[in-house]
Amino acid sequence: MKSAEIRQAFLEYFKSKGHEIVPSSSLIPANDPTLLFTNAGMVQFKDVFLGTDPRSYSRATTSQRCVRAGGKHNDLENVGYTARHHTFFEMLGNFSFGDYFKQDAIHFAWEFLTAPEWMNLPKEKLWVTVYASDDEAYEIWSKQVGVPVERIVRIGDNKGAAYASDNFWAMGDTGPCGPCTEIFYDHGADVAGGPPGSPEEDGDRYIEIWNVVFMQYNRTADGVMHPLPRPSVDTGMGLERVSAVMQHVHSNYEIDLFQNLLAAVEQVTGTTDTKSHSLKVIADHIRSCSFLIVDGVVPSNEGRGYVLRRIMRRAIRHGHKLGAVEPFFHKLVAPLVAEMGSAYPELAKAQAHVEQLIFKEEQQFAKTLDQGMRLLEQAIEGLEGAVIPGETIFRLYDTYGFPVDLTADVARERGYDLDMDGFEQQMEAQRERARAASQFGVDYNQALKLEGETHFNGYTQLVDEGNVVTLLAA
Ligand code: ATP
Ligand code: MG
Ligand code: MG
Ligand code: MG
């Protein structure tokens, strides 16, 4: 089954169960300034769950474009390293706004995955987890659905636990949340990893495909959990992950959606290293960068634009590593449009604009990427220990436009850590100099711009407040 057919089948299944098919919303959350990007299908329905945005329907289904590259759900560092994480992915979801609850939600998910006329997956390869104290969900799975208890795992809040799962889902630090039940697919003994709830869980053998959240609370900034007006359901299944299962491949990067894209990456970078993880990183990043631009984000030095810039520069650096000397990243927009333009006409429409913005960023960064990489290579060569000094990280950031996570990405490839405390000290010294300069009425920003090469204003400060990464003027 092709990804496009799975997407379609999902929406049709839930339509047949009385759900309204609602289009994907923008990656920029319309109703929530605290959230960096749309990171799940429920984001556009946040106020519906809270009861403040009444709709004509009480059941909905979507295929939602999502980005997880910052904030509470940040998978940027996983990309290229796991078989299952992207910065951009599509989340298939069904939602009940005070309509059905645990029982129907579980039966729907199971029927869609296992019924011969739908996904027809072998039941014995599916594992489920429930929230530790959720006896009701446990009983539904074991008694009604008939999942053997050996494959039902109770999982708590994951505070200090050895495993990765956490069966209490929240969109962010505030907002709708609740206990959940998750469905995993066992890709078989050839792949490293343990069952959910075991210390080896974070491998890629047992892959979480579907999360069914029983939305029951709204968490406010003071940490208090207020019951929602009516218990609701929010689910999310990664299209790329279920495609991998349906297409009998292990990694998301082997599915149909990625085949042509990966071939295009090889072609535009001219690499012969077809095994490099950089290929996946670039194929992933062209999707997030393009869709973010389609939704109105522009590379900049603050907020969402800075996250976009970080992803772009990361992709450009990986191309450089593969041997690309000329701008290449913008050339991937056309193959992406060929792959996804019919599902997302807005992408096809914006193609020229997306190419242009990416090309501009490539040109700008090309000036300093080479020099920055040389500085970093030299610094690594001369190192005694395994820690890259704060001063180097700062110079790369300040003079060469290397976002810290780009330096961290290179460091990780070579097995080095970063001295982040040292970096922070340099940043503080920089802010101090800026304050001193501004006392004399010098427009520091202007002065720096005149020097030409420096793309980052010396007086900016990196603040990561959990959900929003901003660069603020001191
Ligand atoms: P994981 O534990 O594998 O990181 P998650 O628990 O963080 O996944 P959820 O927040 O429950 O993911 O999102 C619902 C579903 O969306 C997941 O079950 C998975 O199928 C999919 N998904 C989540 N993150 C990603 C990602 N970065 N790339 C692709 N699919 C994803
Ligand atoms: Mg995750
Ligand atoms: Mg998970
Ligand atoms: Mg989950």
Mean pLDDT of 33-38: 89
Note the pLDDT of residue 398.
93
Mapped onto helix, strand or coil, the DSSP state of residue 93 is strand
Query: Counting atoms of ligand 1 from 1, which one is nearest the CA of 210?
Result: 18
* pLDDT tens-digit map of 292-345: 999 999 999 999 999 999 999 999 999 999 999 999 999 999 999 999 999 999
Mutate to test the pocket of ligand 1, among 91, 182, 240, 287 (most ligand atoms within 8 A of CB): 91
Which of 228, 403, 209 has its CA nearest to residue 311?
Answer: 403
Which pLDDT belongs to residue 435? 83
Task: Confirm or reject: Cβ of 211 under 6 Å from ligand 1.
Answer: yes
Span 350-370, pLDDT tens digits = 999 999 999 999 999 998 999
Residue 317 Cβ inside 6 Å of ligand 1? The answer reads no
Q: What is the pLDDT of residues 195-226, one digit of tens each?
A: 888 888 878 899 999 999 999 999 999 989 99
Looking from the CA of residue 79, the nearest atom of ligand 1 is 27
φ and ψ at residue 95, rounded to 5 degrees: -135, 140
Which of 63, 86, 89 has most ligand 1 atoms within 8 Å of its beta carbon, as the pocket-test mutant? 89
Of 231, 235, 296, the residue nearest 62 (C-alpha): 235
- Containing 423, the helix (H) or strand (E) segment is helix 420-439
Confidence grade of residue 165 (pLDDT, cut at 50, 70, 90): low
Q: Which atom of ligand 1 is nearest to the CA of 235?
A: 14
Phi/psi for 107 (5° steps) reads: -65, -40
Strands 126-131 and 152-155: parallel
Q: How much is the pLDDT for 450?
A: 35
pLDDT band at 159 (very low <50, low <70, confident <90, very high): low
- The pLDDT tens digits for 364-423 are 999 899 999 999 999 999 999 999 999 999 999 999 999 999 999 999 999 999 999 999
Neighbouring residues of the ion ligand 3, judged by CB less than 5 Å: 208
- The pTM for the full model equals 0.89
Question: Does residue 474 carry a pLDDT above 90?
Answer: no
Of all ligands present, the nearest one to the C-alpha of 235 is 1
The ligand minimizing its distance to the Cα of 238 is: 1
d(CA 316, CA 41) in angstroms, rounded, equals 29
The answer to whether 118 and 248 are in contact (CB under 8 A) is no
Instruction: Count CB atoms within 10 A of the CB of residue 91.
Output: 24
| Integer Cα distance of 411 and 29 in angstroms | 33
Residue 297: CA count within 13 A, CB half-sphere: 29
Q: What is the pLDDT of residue 294?
A: 98
Amino acid residing at 402: F
Note the ligand closest to the C-alpha atom of 165: 3
Please state, in angstroms and rounded to a whole number, the distance separating the CA atoms of residues 362 and 90.
27
> In this predicted structure, what is the pLDDT of residue 203?
82
Measured in angstroms, how far is the CA atom of residue 146 from the centroid of ligand 1?
25
Residue 185 beta carbon below 6 angstroms from any ligand 1 atom? no
How far away, in angstroms, is 471 Cα from ligand 2 center?
Answer: 26
Predicted confidence at residue 434, as pLDDT, reads 83
ipTM for the predicted complex comes to 0.99
What pLDDT, on a 0 to 100 scale, did the predictor assign at position 33? 81
Q: Which ligand is nearest to the CA of 65?
A: 1
- Evaluate if residue 96 carries a pLDDT over 70: yes
Q: Give which of 470, 360, 474, 469 is closest to 71, Cα–Cα.
A: 469
pLDDT band at residue 173 under the 50/70/90 scheme:
confident
